Structure 1
Amino acid sequence: MEPSSFFGGIGRALSNPIYRRYFISNTFSTIGRWLHRMAVAWLAWELTKSTSWLGIVAFADAFPMVVVSLIAGAVGDRVGYLRVIRFGQLGAGCVTALFAGFTVAGAITIEMVVALTFVFGSLEALSTPVRMSLVHSLVRREDLSPAIALGSAMFNGARLVGPAIAGALILWLDIGTVMAIGSLTFFQFFAVLLFIRIDESGRDRKLSLEIFADIMTGVRYVLGDPGIRFLMILLGATGILIRPFLELLPSFADEVFGRGPDGLAILMSSIGFGGLVSGLWLAHRGQTRGLTGLVTLSLLFSGVSLAVFTVTGFIWLAACFMVSVGFFMLLGGISSQTLIQNAVDSAMRARVMSLFVVISWGLPAFGALAEGWLASFIGLQPVVATGAVLAIVLWLWARAAGRRLAVELERTS
């Protein structure tokens, strides 16, 4: 039996040398991204001990996804995916190195944290939707589903490993060292991207004011496609009701469980482990059939798991529910991305994926800002629990709507 057959979709995707090289380098870069996020979150908490500031920092990181990602998708469809990703990775490495320098020098303030986080978030927003679109150019159509799932599994493996490494380095060394290591991972990915070549002959146009018309064309396309519109609505609901709790985990670790960076690492790594299992399972599954049902099911179980987490007072029991949240939250995200990539017109791909990023990554910024502010008045746990319960209620509608749209979303030709 061929190794690619034994490992299912995972083996098929990784048998492609270009995708394999991209995947390995992107893995190190993604671990660096989680090192940086962990370091920034704990630095902000150390400087302020405020859930409001945690929400503001999270907002600064994710808000660019709302604006920059829309432009990035149109730019990628116009000038080429690789150019945009290379620029974003080089810029992220430079900003993270600057962040590390200020932190090591002891000159960092919470205002600087917000400003530098905004710049870093803007660079991430520039490259993220294009990076998602690039996968379609690296693998065959029949390998798209496992490649997307494998990338998401890698992302959550990094979420598992990154916080654990960051927590240890923060305890043994310092936050600035963690940021410096993160910057090196961005630079190595940039170097690898210089040697990757794909056919982008149809994407060599110059930038112009027509780019804004391109953005609106993408928006109209999404609104006019019932299946993609349905998936975007569910992503938006998850982004507002479920995902904001991620940015408030430093407060949970400290105030609810009485732990330091080790507690935050336990919770973040638990989420990453759940997401890793989810991604690997979907990658091995290797097909689009049945994914619509998994999207709606994930909304129910991620809401239930998060609601129970908020009433748990023991960190290791809470970690178990974080594994469940990570599994179902990523089950929905990976399945949605795969279905959208499967259904979208290739000429619109980056623009549609930019809207995917805006909704699934940008909306949690508003949710985190609102939940952080509300938590300072009525408490952290009631606010997060309310969002989880509302997600469960939304599932009642999504279940029936998903059944009607599944055939079109899961088509294979």
Structure 2
Amino acid sequence: MSATFRSLKYPNFRLYFVGQSLSLIGTWMERIAVNWLVYTVTHSALMLGVVNFCGQIPTMLLSPYGGAISDRHNRYKVLLTTQIAAMTQACIMTALILTHHYYMPAIIALSAVLGIINAFDTPARQSLMIRLIDDKADLQNAIALNSSMVNLARLIGPAVAGVLLTTVGMGVCFAVNALSFIAVIVSLLLMKLKPETRAKAVGTVWENLKGGYEYLKSEHNIKLMILLMACTSFFTMTYSTLMPIFAKDVFHGNAATYSLLNSMSGLGALAGAIYMATLRSTENLRKTIIIASLICGISIALFAMSSYLWLGLIFIATGGLGMMIQIAGTNTFIQTTVAPNMRGRVISYYVMAFMGVQPLGSFLAGLAAHHFNARYVLFVQGTAGVIAAIAFGVFFRRAKRKQLIQPAENPVEVIP
């Protein structure tokens, strides 16, 4: 167990871990409350897709720019600024809900604002991770524990939200989220980071963006990892958009059923993150990620066809397991492979694939479910995720074979 949690011995990482844990519980409570509010007020699968699309599309469009900013400026200060901005957004959303102003345009606009903030927040947060630990050998463990923390919040947040939604109403969920940002802001202010040394930025932000893209094209394995994440994000990770429909119309439940489905998904994801934390080697990460992607796709397809709630809970949990192993594995592979001066920019492409492609999938899922049966839509998405995993398994094998053959073809490059 001490090996599993070894990154917590670093004071800065401990502060980050505790602050983010409390804040993310509030974040997940708000996510559950927003989707439930939208579907309860509009009864529209299409509107669910629209809200999720508007909340995430800024991340896709602006993440590369956010990554370039992260590489040019102090990542700690960028993160502190984005967290204060996110708290402000949460306070405004809380005020709207507590005063019963359920205006969809306002909710969509505030969701888009949060998406813009996340486009700068996530690359800075992920890039800062390496500065929170003293030994780079513990980076994989730190990333896995970070994923565990995210999914522990994903487990607790929906469970608490379900209780609050069915007892005191959704306004409290939004208020708790706004207050939870205090924890992460205080933890950042208490950190004692060594001065960050970096070369003076050369060229404009847009030239830096181009440099990051050129670097990514030359790193074949990282490029494949990010493309696979984009496919999984587009096809299978958008299942959360349709969860209110499954909770209310398929399993004939209420807000408690909806929160239970999300909590079980979070429980599976937490198990996957803990599994990644126990790994000490990155040697077989590519194989692990392909298998995890397959598990996720198969589980989502089987969940879509489940007629019983207990069976659906099992499949949604295994789907969360596969999804989190892929996310944490991809993040670890990139963080341990990328050149330090390209870290922010490459991570921004990962964020774009992970969070930015989801709005496109969410919108199409909502649109399709508006015209067709939601169960068939989700089954097709899961099946597409399986096909993508198999295809990328072939691509990775070809890339590995090419790496083995290349030294023989270029003997000058071989180091004796």
TM range (shorter): over 0.9
Q: What is the one-letter code of the residue matched to 1:336?
A: T
State the 1:400 CA deviation. 3.0
Task: Write the deviation string for residues 15-49 of structure 1: whole angstroms up to 9, x where unpaired.
Answer: 11111111111111111110111111111112201
**Corresponding residue number in structure 2 for 1:240:** 234
**Corresponding residue number in structure 2 for 1:4:** none
Task: Give 3-state SS (helix, strand or coil) of 1:194's partner.
Answer: helix
* 2:125 is equivalent to residue 131 of structure 1: yes
State the 1:205 CA deviation. 5.9
Q: What is the one-letter code of the residue matched to 2:172?
A: T
Identity percentage of aligned residues: 28
Q: Distance in 1 between matches of 2:227 and 2:63?
A: 18
* 2:332 is equivalent to residue 354 of structure 1: no
**Corresponding residue number in structure 1 for 2:162:** 167
Please tell me whether the aligned partners of residues 290 and 390 of structure 2 are also in contact (alpha carbons under 8 angstroms).
no
* 2:191 is equivalent to residue 196 of structure 1: yes
Q: Distance in 2 between matches of 1:391 and 1:406?
A: 22
* 2:373 is equivalent to residue 375 of structure 1: no
**Corresponding residue number in structure 2 for 1:269:** 263
State the 1:209 CA deviation. 7.8
**Corresponding residue number in structure 2 for 1:3:** none
Q: Distance in 1 between matches of 2:260 and 2:278?
A: 27
Q: What is the one-letter code of the residue matched to 1:36?
A: E
Please tell me whether the aligned partners of residues 239 and 363 of structure 1 are also in contact (alpha carbons under 8 angstroms).
yes
**Corresponding residue number in structure 1 for 2:86:** 92
Residues 127 and 204 of structure 1, relative CA distance in 2, 3 Å threshold:
farther
**Corresponding residue number in structure 1 for 2:407:** none
Q: Distance in 1 between matches of 2:85 and 2:123?
A: 16
Residue 65 of structure 1, aligned match among 56, 59, 80: 59
State the TM-score, normalizing by the size of structure 2. Answer: 0.93
Q: What is the one-letter code of the residue matched to 1:164?
A: A
Please tell me whether the aligned partners of residues 89 and 187 of structure 1 are also in contact (alpha carbons under 8 angstroms).
no
Residues 405 and 23 of structure 1, relative CA distance in 2, 3 Å threshold:
farther
Q: What is the one-letter code of the residue matched to 2:185?
A: F
Residues 187 and 205 of structure 1, relative CA distance in 2, 3 Å threshold:
farther
State the 1:281 CA deviation. 1.2
Residues 200 and 231 of structure 1, relative CA distance in 2, 3 Å threshold:
farther
State the 1:406 CA deviation. 6.2
* 2:290 is equivalent to residue 296 of structure 1: yes
Residue 142 of structure 2, aligned match among 140, 147, 157: 147
Please tell me whether the aligned partners of residues 228 and 389 of structure 2 are also in contact (alpha carbons under 8 angstroms).
no
Q: Distance in 2 between matches of 1:328 and 1:315?
A: 20
C-alpha RMSD of the superposition: 1.9
Q: Distance in 1 between matches of 2:212 and 2:195?
A: 20
State the 1:397 CA deviation. 2.4
Q: Distance in 1 between matches of 2:332 and 2:401?
A: 14
State the 1:201 CA deviation. 3.4
State the 1:97 CA deviation. 1.1
Q: What is the one-letter code of the residue matched to 1:234?
A: L
Residue 207 of structure 2, aligned match among 201, 213, 230: 213
1:104-123, aligned counterparts within 5 Å?
104-123=98-117
1:282-321, aligned counterparts within 5 Å?
282-321=276-315
Give structure 1 regions of 4+ aligned residues with deviation exceeding 4 angstroms: 203-206, 404-409
State the 1:234 CA deviation. 0.5
**Corresponding residue number in structure 1 for 2:176:** 181
**Corresponding residue number in structure 2 for 1:20:** 14
